[in-house]
Structure 1
């Protein structure tokens, strides 16, 4: 039986082109199965054969599974397993060297697997896909021909280069998988921490509320309840993060709307004499580090308005949140009460805290009052900008 010789110089160019195409594909794709399948297709095409496969070495170090392939009948790729003790792929893994067999009918170094005989394999060449960073070999890249074929040193070098590209892709996929697992673990731990913080803050709010009810002095009771509302603003923040399933961003409009409504409900009797007007745009995302001081600033403004702006009468508190030029959001909180006294106070606790929150956010705080109300404006940089 004659053996086909491979001596055409144009084959080298075809092989180099196949390597280039595969290198580009492997860098673009994040699906290892597709990468392995494309490798089989391109090496078979470059070497002019009908069959190619990637055989993966199992964790036990002895089982081989056909992980990808081209030209094989159904039931082979992804299903068929062999043993490392037989076949050219087993010899390659045991020796660590390339195995070239130009005529399998004359082969004495190994037993040809039955599935290769069934597919009419008469020649074969395979190289080891090495492990990355000291890992065990991934398996074997193998090209089989249905006619006797003399594979040369150029073919071995080509296939080795291909196998090294595959090894690099496998290593990258495994590293990415480890990073994803670690990221998932970290996210799970962070969510658990958020849940515990939320629960702990809820307990603190309940304790502060209980203590405030036991205090006889109105000033002390009011101070205790003021602290409770600040803690509640932080608890609600963690609650929103936990419910949304996010750990690094939340919808600012939803958070501030719920916080504002809760403040009016907390102050007994306020919901009957003070109306809340909300104009908040949804989908404006900020980080928890931004949301916390913003929530506390809104808490201080609304609390102070309920205490001082209306003198026990009816009134209206407005909250506006809208997209602003420059990838920012405008926050405006206002009331239609008595307005700031003249001269305007410089050292009130609430105003001082709001000014501090503005500095923390890198946002200027603008106050205005015309004697018939007070307005606070801030601009906030949105998430991702």
Structure 2
């Protein structure tokens, strides 16, 4: 039977895994319902209860709708509404900055428990506010329920609060996008504001990932969180360039990818001594929707080269950007390391690169040890047509 320390470590691992998985989803999905549903699913897994829900505050400022949830019978999610009045659980949740915890609702005297929760056998609960951006009203409440009496400890409450902050950042990103589409006459100003918010939200998520990595109980969890953080940082750098340049429609791909590659190498400099970066770049302008997947591909290739390609003697990583025939663009990534191991060819990073290449409508050519023109190592060539600039 696992001892208490082992059980605590397992719970922390589950929570950190849930944060990492949700962090990636929150950055890429444009579907609010998908984000809310997966938020409930992953937070319920992280706390091991099987029951969670998001209560969305309606425009009247008093009514909360069960907008998403897991573990509930049909007729609850999307239908049940609650009034956030004085003396209610929902009213208390929205009126205080701290979490509301009830270890055993049978002994609860502060507020009544909604009937649908009793019908589902809820015995304990913990909830936190999903804050609004820029001093706006809160989005709502994130709540985890348990069918057995349970004392949620301070680490679990902190996990739930971190999760709610990430959810708030995702909701704010989508709401800002909705505002942009609804106010086409003011499109440039709103798009710049969106870029600013996205940049700030990405920075918040990077900070949360770094915090969780420091608390991680295993090297595997630290590595998983580090991979996610680097992917987020690649997007953060792109939005930095868009915002600072004041031109949200175009990106200098050579400058962006060159800076991204240099940042990755500096990040690993202490652990990866003797690795050299060779850049052969052109000032080629592309729209942001092509720069983003290219940045993630560069991140995956260089990260994997740093982790797997070299021994103690070091080596070289290269990145070349050049025009090709027929108005296409060629991006070449290479290293002179051990070559691409067979077990890495079906990994998450490889699948991500292939999916991003399809997003670019790019032809992707891999060559492994000794097969490329640059000698031993691994080489990835991408060939695609640049989209028209707006």
| TM-score (norm: length of structure 2) | 0.49
Distance 1:345 1:183, change over 3 A: closer
Residue in 1 aligned with 2:212? 211
Distance 1:186 1:195, change over 3 A: same
For the residue of structure 1 that corresponds to 2:331, the secondary structure is: strand
1:281-330 Cα offsets, whole Å, 9 max, x none, are 01x11111111111101100000000000034311100000111111211
Residue in 2 aligned with 1:367? 366
Question: How far off its partner does 1:268 sit?
Answer: 4.5
Contact 1:329-1:379 within 8 A present in 2 as well: yes
Runs of 4+ in 1 over 6 A off after TM superposition: none
C-alpha separation in 1, matches of 2:245 and 2:286: 13
User: How many residues get paired?
Assistant: 202
Residue in 1 aligned with 2:317? 317
Which one has the largest radius of gyration? 1
C-alpha separation in 2, matches of 1:233 and 1:185: 28
1:378 maps to 2:377:
no
Question: How far off its partner does 1:380 sit?
Answer: 2.7
C-alpha separation in 2, matches of 1:185 and 1:223: 40
Residue in 1 aligned with 2:263? 262
Question: How far off its partner does 1:345 sit?
Answer: 4.8
Residue in 2 aligned with 1:280? 281
Question: How far off its partner does 1:207 sit?
Answer: 1.4
Contact 2:331-2:383 within 8 A present in 1 as well: yes
Question: How far off its partner does 1:270 sit?
Answer: 4.8
C-alpha separation in 1, matches of 2:285 and 2:251: 5
Residue in 2 aligned with 1:233? 234
Residue in 2 aligned with 1:294? 294
1:193-251 Cα offsets, whole Å, 9 max, x none, are 10111011011112111211221311110110100000001111111111111112111
What stretches of structure 1 of length at least 5 have no aligned partner? Answer: 1-181
Once structures 1 and 2 are overlaid, which stretch shifts more, 300-309 or 200-209?
200-209
C-alpha separation in 1, matches of 2:350 and 2:184: 41
Contact 2:339-2:368 within 8 A present in 1 as well: yes
C-alpha separation in 2, matches of 1:309 and 1:225: 18
C-alpha separation in 2, matches of 1:331 and 1:344: 25
Contact 1:264-1:270 within 8 A present in 2 as well: no
Residue in 1 aligned with 2:357? 358
C-alpha separation in 2, matches of 1:217 and 1:312: 24
C-alpha separation in 2, matches of 1:285 and 1:268: 30
Contact 1:270-1:306 within 8 A present in 2 as well: no
C-alpha separation in 2, matches of 1:362 and 1:350: 18
C-alpha separation in 2, matches of 1:279 and 1:305: 18
What stretches of structure 2 of length at least 5 have no aligned partner? Answer: 1-182, 371-375
For the residue of structure 2 that corresponds to 1:281, the secondary structure is: coil
1:247 maps to 2:248:
yes
Contact 2:362-2:382 within 8 A present in 1 as well: yes
1:253-300 Cα offsets, whole Å, 9 max, x none, are 111001111111122425632111100101x11111111111101100
For the residue of structure 1 that corresponds to 2:316, the secondary structure is: strand
1:305 maps to 2:309:
no
Contact 1:298-1:333 within 8 A present in 2 as well: yes
1:48-79 Cα offsets, whole Å, 9 max, x none, are xxxxxxxxxxxxxxxxxxxxxxxxxxxxxxxx
